Amino acid sequence: MAEKTVMLCCSAGMSTSMLVKKMQEAAKKDGLDYEIFACPAAEADTNLENKNISCVLLGPQVSYMLADFEKKVEGTGIPVEVIDMAAYGMMDGEKVVQQAKKLVG
């Protein structure tokens, strides 16, 4: 099992899955033991219940869901943030891994 688990959420899980691959490469290069996966926002509750999630990153296209996600994780200590739009647009896995790293310590 990985040391940290990063869940990316977007509307369908498709665009973030491309970013996941780049993030996995960046995490490996940086020597980080991270499990990184993407899911549609509709599956977030199931993953939050069944996995040991370290942080949640939302795709910019679902940034309007931030308050909902903050409520979902209230009291769990799981940080939630919207992925930096420029990093998302450029599919900059390294930059998004660093954002996750800041959240999980």
Active site residues: 10
Token output for 62:
């679902």
Whole-number Å distance between alpha carbons of 89 and 105: 25
Q: Are strands 55-58 and 34-40 parallel, antiparallel or unpaired?
A: unpaired
**Pairing status of strand 4-10 against strand 55-58:** parallel
